[in-house]
Structure 1
Amino acid sequence: MLEKTFYKQLLKRSFAMPVKIVFWDGSSAQYGQGEPKATITFREKVPVSAVTQNASIALGEAYMDQKIDITGPGAHPLQEVITSAYQQAGSFLRDAKLKKFLPKQSHGEAQSQADIHSHYDVGNDFYRLWLDDTLTYSCAYFTPENPTNDLTAAQIAKAHHILQKLNPQPGRRLLDIGCGWGTLMLTAAKEYDLKVTGVTLSEEQYQLVKQRIKAAGLSGVAEVRLQDYRELGDEQWDYITSVGMFEHVGQENLGLYFQDVAKYLKADGTALIHGITRQQGGAYNGWINKYIFPGGYIPGLTEIIDHIEAAHLQIGDVEMLRRHYQRTLEIWDANFNAHRAEIETTKGTRFTRMWDLYLQACAASFESGNIDVVQYLLTKGPSGTGLPMTRRYMLTDR
């Protein structure tokens, strides 16, 4: 009885849309005016103590274990429910006040490698099922010519968008920190005539990028290293790119990350740093940290800018791409669910529900504005050094 009272009090103020709640004893309640847009079914009680200690872990695990189901007429009911929760003050999925319950993060080199292995070495075959043909696992860039659907075209457009911002000159050197499966670095080598070095801690990514370099005939101009970015010594590059990387370094290492960017950048160099940022201030998410990205931390906008300033870098341009990442995640989740039966067969139901929840929850976070994704164009010298006077050069068609 106490559990039901707790949930009724919590849920009646948790959503910005009408929802129906079905409790574990078969009783139900509706909150909000109008036809329910989603139904949340509690098949078992989720202990109140677990929810009050860390809501995202308790409810995320309950969904993974099929103790909670979320259904609705829309294509993405999970995303709709979580978006509505984020839009409503006091959302039961916010963790802003729960940081004290999270363990201290460790980001030494050995821990960083273990964290990367746990996520990115799930298997290239798994990622091939739901990423696009380029195997790019970061926010795509949807142009007026490709506004919604072609993910491969949008990922290629993102690579060009990043590289064009650097205004790269042929024959110069580029470092890609956290190179993924190599699309950005290979595009830089093939189409911008740059000498490229990519670094990753993922063995699976490293092996595939080596194959892609050889297959493209780029062995003389592109290389990939299975190496921690902190161990690059005194080498310097004309350009640095880093996409979806700083979210993994941990709050305590953000300053060192930007100091290393500055260290590896030549005096007249330019860097494009692309990553997830919260405009409202940095935050952890307990469930994401435990099951998806161990050691992850989403920094706040002013927090990032403070670290950029402390590293003696200057900002030449800032661009928000929140809606692009929402759309990217929606396509990924559609692709994922198109292969759901295969994934369940190979990975199990719990893993499948976990990844579906992850993709839809992230899409909801971007849709609601809870998180953003930002591109920071940085120079080691005064802002804009070596770049054209206007932003028009960034939009040149290739």
Structure 2
Amino acid sequence: MGNTATVADTLAPLLRTALGDQPPIRFEFWDGSTMAPAAEPRGVMRIRSKDALSYLVWAPGELGLARAYVSGQLEFEGDVFTVLRSMQQSAPRDADLGWDAALRAVGAAGRLGALTHHPKPPPEEVRPLRGGLHTKRRDAAAISHHYDVGNDFYRLVLGESMTYSCARFVAPGDDGAAPANPAVPLVDAQRAKHDLICRKLGLRAGMRLLDVGCGWGSMALHAAATYDAQVVGVTISHEQAELARERVAAAGLRDRVEIRLSDYRDLRGEEFDAISSIGMFEHVGTKRSAEYFDTLRALLRPQGRLLNHAISSIGGSRMQNRSFIGRYVFPDGELLDVGAVVLAMERAGFEVRDVDALREHYALTLRQWVANLENDWDRAVSLVGPGRARIWRLYMAASALGFEDGGLGLHQILGVVPDPRGEAAMPGNRRGWV
């Protein structure tokens, strides 16, 4: 008699090894067979064809899963946060995912006919970048991969504030002691974040601010309109620079805001009263962190302040080339330990005056971005295609969970350049800005 085993029969032992005896979600396979938990499933994972297994065989682990998902050969239904968290929590800590499991997976794929061809990676995948790590040319290519995907798509995801960094969810009048408040609208939370940074920097009328990695100009616009600062914003994304200039003109602020298409390393011979770097440091990396802080230190006058706002991770982590984030989202991205950032700032000559942790606020920010994407999914797909829309949904949802469980952090670090007498002209405590 021939083999009558279904796809579910063939793959069930492997799924139980990876996710426990009762996987929390329902699996549906291309032959119509299913595998479901005894309790109500927390979502559905649909494997649409044997190509999904082929991706996993030829690129075992995270990269293969990413290719299957981005290509649409693997899909899931249900609340994305619940599905991801359930799968994360159900995996046995002592799961045998070594060579034995790999050999069993290859054998199962062979029985299902998934070894007959090597599927091409989805077109959204970044190809190997040329040049040395964090050279200007390579950084420009990495930034373009992520940011030059269409301003209309970013507007859909980010909302009217067009701000691609952690917001600050505080109610009006809050002194900063209350927990992050999810009832605060995203546009107000982004405004609160920008205002906090301006106050930490001590901005006043006529002061000169450099915004490194200015994005679509939101921080520059707030500093100029609210504090009457003179702002220079720099970005190496062509699409960001174009829209930022349009927004400056529409706000009537061309006399106070200049947007440059420029690398921060090209800034020489200028002096600023304050520098903000918001969500840009993740692209700098350990290799260039000393150069980064030395460059910014040289641009500040005595008693000038730097606010570095960046994602962090304990011990630091580089977004590896074979990871989902490294291959599809942030090529060459790197997260530094907050302690390493403080040390690098001090070595560059900054006196570190404040470290502020905002990870719960970033989790709320990401959840709102995911909601924006899902609420206008068809338009998002029409703008960037289904593959890139899937990438963003997965990366933002997974990141939100990382901030919620503490695997990721978000820190604002405030440094000041003491004058020759060692004076920093700082407020006596945080009440000066919270």
**Paired residue for 1:28?**
35
| 2:260 aligned counterpart, secondary structure | strand
Partner of 1:9: 17
The counterpart of 2:227, out of the listed 182, 192, 198, is 192
Partner of 2:425: 386
Matched, 1:268 2:307: no
Contact 2:170 2:184 in 1 (8 A): no
What corresponds to 2:326 in structure 1?
289
Contact 1:19 1:39 in 2 (8 A): no
Task: Give the 3 Å change call, closer, same or farther, for CA 358–147 of structure 1 in structure 2.
Answer: closer
Query: Aligned residue for 2:350?
Result: 313
Distance 1:48 1:67, change over 3 A: closer
The match for 2:161 among 123, 131, 134 is 134
* Residues 152, 383 of structure 2: 8 Å contact kept: no
Q: C-alpha displacement at 1:3, in angstroms?
A: 6.1
Distance 1:65 1:340, change over 3 A: same
Deviation beyond 6 Å, 4+ runs, structure 1: 102-105
Q: Tell me how far apart the structure 2 counterparts of residues 127 and 79 of structure 1 sit (CA, whole Å).
A: 24
* Distance change (3 Å), C-alpha of 1:270 and 1:327: same
1:80 touches 1:364 (CA, 8 Å); kept in 2? yes
Tell me: higher relative CO, structure 1 or 2? Use CA pairs within 8 A at least 6 residues apart.
1
Return the offset for 1:384: 8.4
1:68 aligns with 2:74: yes
The 3 A distance-change label for structure 1 pair 198 and 77 is same
Measure how far apart 1:82 and its partner are.
6.3
Report the alpha carbon displacement of residue 118 of structure 1 after superposing the two structures with TM.
1.5
1:50-105: CA deviations, max 9, x gaps? 47966322222222223333333x474445346647x985899xxxxxxxxx9997
- Counterpart CA distance in 2 for 1:91 and 1:122 is 39
The CA distance in 1 between the partners of 2:409 and 2:92, in whole Å, is: 18
Q: Give the counterpart of 1:207 among 232, 242, 264.
A: 242
Q: Is the 8 A contact 2:208 2:272 kept in 1?
A: yes
2:383 is aligned with 1:327: no
Q: CA–CA distance in 1 between the matches of 2:67 and 2:425?
A: 51
1:370 maps onto 2:407 in alignment:
yes
Q: Structure 2: which 5+ runs fail to align?
A: 1-8, 97-127, 173-180
Q: Are the aligned partners of 1:320 and 1:372 in contact in 2 as well (CA < 8 Å)?
A: yes
What is the DSSP-based 3-state SS (H/G/I as helix, E as strand, rest coil) of the residue aligned with 1:159? Answer: helix
**Aligned counterpart for 1:107 among listed residues 103, 110, 134:** 134
TM-score (norm 2): 0.79
In structure 1, distance between residues paired with 2:272 and 2:185: 33
1:143 paired with 2:143, answer no
The alignment covers a number of residue pairs equal to 380
Counterpart position of 1:98 = none
Separation (CA, whole Å) in 2 of partners of 1:191 and 1:134: 15
Q: CA deviation at 1:239?
A: 0.4
Q: Is the 8 A contact 1:281 1:302 kept in 2?
A: no
241-250 vs 352-361, greater mean Cα deviation:
352-361
Mapped to 1, the partners of 2:309 and 2:83 lie a distance apart of 27
- 2-side partners of 1:293 and 1:323: how far apart? 22
Q: Quick one: distance in 2 between partners of 1:91 and 1:255? A: 41
